[in-house]
Amino acid sequence: MSTFARSAIRLLIPMVASAVVVVLLWIAFLELFDINSMVGKPPSAVWEYLVTDDDAAANRATVFGNLAVTLRDASLGFAAGLVAAIVLAVAFFLARGVEQAVMPVAMLLRSVPLVAMTPLIMLVFGRDAVGIAVIGGIVVFFPALVNLVFGLRSAPRPTIDLVTAYGGGKVTVLRKVAVPAALPALFASARIAVPGALIGALIAEWLATGQGTGGAILRAVGGFRYDELWASVVVLTATSIVLYTLVGLVETAVVTRFFPDRAAKD
């Protein structure tokens, strides 16, 4: 069995285990707190709503149609936040003065709850793709920035000194040493960004656009459509787990291709 196949299996097993644990906790929660059956729906009810009910096809179209909108919104936030974090982390690496000027402002903005900032963001950037990208990007940006800065600065000092001794400047050190050393941090940031981008998309949909899964959940609660509510939450959670695992598979493929020694150790 190849190194990539072994690594992929090690990623898929936790995904399946996580799904089993979530289902067991779901059932235990409903039983332990004696949730009213009209409000708390077990896995069998969600399965019936999406698969075996007479209206299952229409139900799936509704749930997955809303999910497609949320994934579109989340992709905007994911791309905006991760690209901004990469650009700023590189700027921090090349010029310490940029970090000293920008990081305090970034931390100050991070301390303000996003729910409180959302109305202002919508007023400034609008309720279209730009506003959604800003909200999702904020959720993704800060943890990704911290990870990437740490990753760029974790480059081996002897290797940096060697490149410098041969006349390499900061850009050369960045390209040949720091970026390869930061790849694990980049993929860790991408994995963290997946659920973060989904959260950002939901916040935008709850508070601004009223579309996607976020808007559908609010409408389902107001209309007492708890089957739709639980099905939407389950599908969104499963999608988050699958996307997280897919990023891990991409990381495994990259590490296996460019860092075979590291992949063998893992």
Give 154-166 pLDDT, tens digit per residue.
888 888 888 888 8
pLDDT tens for 6-45 read: 666 776 787 788 788 888 999 999 989 888 888 889 999 9
Yes or no: say if 212 and 101 are a contact pair by the CB < 8 Å rule.
no
For residue 51, the model assigns a pLDDT of 93
For residue 156, the model assigns a pLDDT of 86
The tally of domains found in the chain comes to 1
Better-predicted residue by pLDDT, 112 or 140 = 140
For residue 265, the model assigns a pLDDT of 52
CATH number at residue 225: 1.10.3720.10
Looking at every residue in the chain, the average pLDDT score rounds to 86
Q: Which domain holds residue 158?
A: 3-265
Q: The pTM is what? A: 0.85
